[in-house]
Amino acid sequence: MPENWPSYAVPMPAIGAPETTAEFDRAVDVLAGRRVAVLTGAGVSTDSGIPDYRGRGTPVRTPMSFQQFRSDARFRQRYWAGSHLGWRRFHAAQPNAGHLALTDLERAGVVPGVITQNVDDLHLRAGTRHVVDLHGTMHTVSCLDCGQVFAREAIAARLAESNPWLESDALLELSPDGDVPVAEFDATVVPECAVCGGVLKPGVVFFGELVPPLKYEEAAALVADADALLVAGSSLVVNSGIRVLELARRHRLPIVIVNRGETKGDGRAAVKVDAGTTETLVALRRALIGG
């Protein structure tokens, strides 16, 4: 990370067991002795400084669609300006105790892998080895014309050189997809593919864009290899999350949901734990593998 970039690592307090509830005890009973596939959403990363789309008090927001980005150069100017500002914060964020708890559960053989709707790469950076990123990652960029893939750092360096005003630390309304609304973007110089001069796009699934079929196949294989599904930090509003939930139901797996507030899957869960994701994952790790 460049030395002049701010750090957005969130100091984590000492985390004890969550308040003892019947729901938490039931969740432990359901998951104990089983191989647990995990589906995570934005709520897993809030304690790393990355906001939730649909948490309590979160304003309604419609992301830019793939069609807008693909068809209009001005939309690309707006997106790249906001995405660059947001990616700086994503790049500086650190895994929190919830990410690390899932990594420990994977290493212990309890979790065969994590399916995530997040694009921040924090599960991988926490050390989890099998991660299915349904919505892609902010840390790569690909050319829509020739398919060449670039590291995001290289594209960020080109953006910063051509648009020094984007190096400001002013950052408003960061979203979980790494975008930041910007009012003035007409002067943004958008990088082109260094191979063919084509249109570059961050490696995330845009609103209105389909999740790659191979990603769903990988998620389906992970669920099929499990004995239970744990959903952590997702409201399950996005169709990709519900599809994973339905995969688990078709395999007759018990489902545990951990999330603050209502989710679209609550009625289909064996147990719903309405509590903070980080502290609950830490407590589940302690209950399932000790330490």
Cβ pair 227, 30 in contact under 8 A: no
Classify residue 6: in a domain, yes or no.
no
Please tell me the predicted confidence (pLDDT) of residue 14: 43
**Number of independent structural domains in the chain:** 1
Nearest C-alpha neighbor of 111 from the set 128, 133, 123, 94: 128
Sequence-distant (6+) residues with CB within 8 A of 221 are none
- At residue 38, what are phi and psi to the nearest 5 degrees? -125, 135
In this structure, the number of other CB atoms found within 10 A of the CB of residue 170 comes to 7
Q: Is 135 a catalytic residue?
A: yes
Classify residue 7: in a domain, yes or no.
no
pLDDT, one tens digit per residue, over 195-247 is 999 999 999 998 888 899 999 999 999 999 999 999 999 999 989 999 999 99
- CA distances for 193 relative to 71, 142, 150, 197, 206, angstroms: 16, 8, 9, 4, 19
Classify residue 269: in a domain, yes or no.
yes
**What pTM value is reported for the model?**
0.86
Map residue 201 onto helix, strand or coil: strand
- C-alpha distance across the termini of the chain, in Å: 33
Please tell me the predicted confidence (pLDDT) of residue 180: 62
Classify residue 13: in a domain, yes or no.
no
Please tell me the predicted confidence (pLDDT) of residue 253: 98
Please tell me the predicted confidence (pLDDT) of residue 122: 95
Please tell me the predicted confidence (pLDDT) of residue 134: 96
Map residue 159 onto helix, strand or coil: helix
CATH number of residue 233's parent domain: 3.40.50.1220
Residues of the chain short of pLDDT 50, as ranges, are 1-16, 19, 54-59, 171
Cβ pair 174, 120 in contact under 8 A: no
User: Length of the chain, please?
Assistant: 291
Please tell me the predicted confidence (pLDDT) of residue 165: 77
Which of 84, 123, 135, 139 is an active site residue?
135
Classify residue 2: in a domain, yes or no.
no
Classify residue 4: in a domain, yes or no.
no
Q: Which domain holds residue 183?
A: 22-54+64-289
pLDDT, one tens digit per residue, over 145-167 is 999 999 999 999 999 899 887 76
Q: Six-digit token pair at 225?
A: 């290899």
Please tell me the predicted confidence (pLDDT) of residue 53: 58
Please tell me the predicted confidence (pLDDT) of residue 3: 36
- At residue 272, what are phi and psi to the nearest 5 degrees? -120, 125
Sequence-distant (6+) residues with CB within 8 A of 91 are 1, 5, 139, 152, 153, 156
The bridge status of strand 200-204 relative to strand 136-143 is: antiparallel
Classify residue 5: in a domain, yes or no.
no
